[in-house]
Structure formats: C-alpha cells, structure tokens
Structure 1
Amino acid sequence: MNETMNLLLNRRTYRDFDENYHLPEEDLQQILTAARQAPSWMNGQFYSIFVIQDKATRKQLVDWNPGNPHMLKSSVFLIFVGDLHRTQLISEAYDRENFTGDSIEPVLVATTDASLALGNAVTAADSLGLGSVVVGSIRKHSKEIGELLALPEGMFPLFGLSIGKPIVEMKVKLRLPEKAVVYYEKFTPYDFSLIQEYDEIMEKFAEARETKKWSIKFTDYFASEPTMIIDQLLKMKKLFNS
C-alpha cells in the first residue's frame, strides 16, 4: 500500500489538540495550497477559505457553537465559504447580467468545489502529522458568521476545519457496508439488515459523544422541522430567489 492510500484509509477525526502547539507558517501554507489545488467545476474555484487565528474571533465561534471547543483550542481554524461573489465581480467588469439567484445550480457547484478543497486540506494536514475535524454545524449561525467575517453578497459559510497537534489517539471509524454505498452500473436494492449491521458496528465502536444508534440519530434529524437557516441566508445574499 502506498503512502497516500495509507493516509486515506486510516483517516480519523481528532477533537483534542495541544493548545500550546504553534502550527508553522510553512505547514499552514502547504495545507492552503493543497486545498486550492483541488478539482473544481470548469476550474471555476467557486469557494474561498478564511484563516481564523485570532483567539477572540474563535472564542466567539465557540460561544455560538459550544459543542465544538476545539475551534478555539486547535492551532488554526479554517472556514470554507461558497463564493459566487467573485463571478459577480467578473460579470460587472464585463457589464453582463448575472443570474446566479435564478437556480440552485450555482449554489451546488460552489458547495461541491468547497467540499473538494476541504478534502484536500484534511489529507494535507494528515500528511504533516497533524489532526483535524470538520465542523458543519457552523451553518446554524450562518448569518452571524457572515457578519463576523464581513462576507459580501454572493458568499455563504459552509463548514469549518480545526487543525492542530492531536493529544488523544483516535480509532479509525468504520463506514457503512460497501453494498449500501457502492453500485456497479445501476442501483440494486439492499436489505435493511445492512443498516442494522452498521448500527451494531457503531455501538461496538462506542464513541462517547454518540447517545443514539446511528440509524435513530438520522431518523430523528430528518423527522425534525427544518430550520432553513441556510435557505434564509442564501436569499439574503441574493443567491436563491425561490
């Protein structure tokens, strides 16, 4: 197995970091460069990355999202945003109409581009002997974070990434059975027992932060009334008219 495959197959999430560890500027730059080298639709690169090092700013993020104290305790916190502001500037420069708000497609493209950049950043951090954890729950405070970062029209926060030197060793978390995820040529129905099997795997994994079975956690999540916070933000940023 080559080194890259070893990194990918042994990737794990870390939430406990050495608060005294200073991330070398060279390492941070390598992570950012690797993120920017990710694939993107038509090479559009419809995302931006905010490097958050200021302790006061990071404390504010934790105050809004107390379940993720690592946003303050890690060496650096990155925020990935969908960026359709850049293309709006380009449209204005050429005195052309810009219809990004007329379809969900630009938002999907920007989200996908940002996700690919995030994946590269995670792998780059791993390769440097660092740990990281992705924070999707920042979307619960999209409006406040947008104001905190002074995001212009066309930018919307998607997820964060804490990076630092781990102080607690983590186990590799097993994923869903392959038959529930991978299809060859066409969809093939699978038995619900595969989900139950994964519930058992995750119960044996015994992650302290999980209080419900994997399947129940998502049953409850999707049975709840949507908050539509991101929907409201997209409308506010004139990225989603309907």
Structure 2
Amino acid sequence: MNETIEFLKNRRSYRDFDENYVLPNEELQAIVDAARQAPSWMNGQFYSIIVVKDNVIREQLVKWNPGNPQILKSSVFLIFVGDLYRTKMVSKAHESPYLIDESIEPIILATTDAALALENAVIAAESLGLGSVVVGSIRKHGKEISQLLELPEHTFPLFGLSIGKPTVAMEVKPRLPEKAVVHYDKFQLYNYSLIEEYNETMEIFGEARETKQWSQKFSDYFAAEPVMITDQLLEMQGLLKK
C-alpha cells in the first residue's frame, strides 16, 4: 500500500489544540492553495473560503456553537461558503438572466464544490503534521453568521474547519461495514445486521462524546420535526423561492 493511501486511511478528527501555537503563514497559504485546487464541476468553483483569525469573530462563533470551543482554541478557523454571487456578477456582465432560484441544482453544485475544497484542506493540514475538525453546526446560525461575515446575496455558509497543533492523541474511528457502503455495478440490498454490527463496533470503540448507539442517534435525528433554518437562510439569500 502506498504512503498516500495509508495516510488517508488514518485520517482522524482532533478537537483539542495548543492555544499558543501560531500557524505559519506559509503553511496556511499551502492549505488554502490545496483547497482551491480541488475538483469542481465545469471548473465553476462555486465556493469561497473565509479565513477567520480575528478572535472577536471567533468568540461570537463559539457563543453560537458552545459545543465547539475549538473554533476559538485552534490556530485558525476556515468557513467554507457556497458562493453563487460570483456567477451573478458573470450573468450581469453578460446581460443574461440569472434564474438561480428555479432549481435546487445550483445549491447542490455549490455544496459539492465547497465540500471537495474542504476535504483538500483537511488532507493538506494533516500532511503538515497538523490536526483539524469539521464543524457543521455553523449552519444552525447561518443567518447570523452571514450577517457577521457580511456575506453578499446568493452565498451561504456551509461548514467550518478548525486547524491547529493537536494536544490529545485520537484513534482512527471505525467506519460502517464495507458491504453497507460499497456496491459493485448495482445497489445491493443488505441485512440490517450490518448496522447492528456497527453499533457494537462503536460501543467497543467507546468515543466519550457519543451518548447513544449509532442507529439510535440517527433514528432520533430524522424523527425530529425538521428545523427550517437552512431553508430560511437560502430564501433570505435569494437562492430559494419563498
């Protein structure tokens, strides 16, 4: 097995960082450059990256996300934004209509491009001996964050990334059984026992922050009344029709 694949298979999330560690500018630049080189549909690059160094801004983000204190304690916090404002500028320059709210497709494009850039940043950071953790909970305060960061119309914050020097070693988290995820040629139905097997695997792994079985956690999540925060943000930003 080559070193790159071994490196990818051993990726893990870190939430405890050395608060005194200063990330060199050249390493931050290397991470951002790697993120920007990620694959993108038609080379559209439908995202922006907000590099948040200002502690006042980060403190406010932690107030909204108290379960993620690493937003402030890491060396830097990146916010990946779905960006369809840039193509609004393009449409205006070409004097063409911009039917951005006629379909969910542009939102999927922007989300996918941002996610690919995020993963490149994760891998680049780890290759430099750093640690990182993705913060998806920023979407719960997407409207407030959009105002805080002065995001223009047709943009929406998707996820954050804390990067820094880890202070606590983490184990590689087990993934679902391969047969529940990987299919050849056609989707293959599988027995629910694979999910029960994964429940047991995660219980043995014993991650302290998990208080429920894997299956119970997502059964509860999707049984709850949907919170329409993201829908409201997309409407506010002119990406969904009201």
The runs of 4+ residues in structure 1 deviating greater than 4 Å are: none
Within 5 Å, which residues of 2 pair with 1:159-238?
Answer: 159-238=159-238
What does residue 86 of structure 1 align with? 86
TM-score, structure 2 normalization: 0.99
Q: Which amino acid aligns with 1:212?
A: K
What amino acid maps onto 2:130 in structure 1?
A: L
> 1:50 is matched with which residue?
50
Partner residue in 1 for 2:61: 61
Taking the aligned partners of 1:43 and 1:241, their CA distance within structure 2 comes to: 26
CA distance in 1: counterparts of 2:177 and 2:201, whole angstroms: 10
User: Is 1:41 matched up with 2:41?
Assistant: yes
Letter in 2 for 1:116: L
Counterpart residue number, 1:128: 128
| Offset at residue 240 of structure 1 (A) | 1.0
CA distance in 2, matches of 1:176, 1:235: 35
Q: Distance in 2 between matches of 1:207 and 1:232?
A: 34
CA–CA distance in 2 between the matches of 1:132 and 1:6? 18
| 1:68 Cα deviation from its structure 2 partner | 0.1
Q: Secondary structure at the match of 1:21?
A: coil
Q: Distance in 1 between matches of 2:218 and 2:99?
A: 35
Q: Deviations over 1:127-165 (max 9, x none)?
A: 000000000010000000000000000110000000000
Consecutive unaligned residues of structure 1, counting only runs of 5 or more, are none
Give the whole-Å Cα distance in 1 for the aligned partners of 2:64 and 2:240: 25
Displacement of 1:2 in angstroms is 2.1
In 2, Cα distance between equivalents of 1:209 and 1:152: 36
The match for 2:72 is: 72
Residue 207 of structure 1 aligns to a residue in which SS? coil
Deviations 1:45-95 (A, max 9, x none): 000000000111101000000000000000000000000000001101111
SS of the aligned residue for 1:102 comes to coil
TM-score, normalised to structure 1, is 0.99
Corresponding pairs, count: 242
C-alpha displacement at 1:241, in angstroms?
1.2
Of all paired residues, the percent bearing the same amino acid is 69
**Structure 1 residue 220, shift from structure 2 partner:** 0.2
Q: Output one character per residue of 1:104-139: Cα deviation in whole Å (capped at 9) or x when no partner.
A: 000000000000000100000010000000000100
Deviation track 1:29-55 (CA, whole Å, cap 9, x = no partner) reads: 000000000000000000000000011
2:8 matched to 1:8? yes
2:100 matches 1:100: yes
CA RMSD of aligned residues (A): 0.6
Aligned to 2:116: 116
Matched, 1:155 2:155: yes
What is the match of residue 241 of structure 1? Answer: 241
| Structure 2 residue runs without a partner (length 5+) | none
TM superposition shift of 1:97: 0.3
The Cα shift of 1:3 comes to 2.2
Alignment of structure 1 residues 127-146 onto 2, 5 Å = 127-146=127-146
Deviation for aligned residue 1:6: 1.8
- How many angstroms does 1:5 deviate by? 1.0
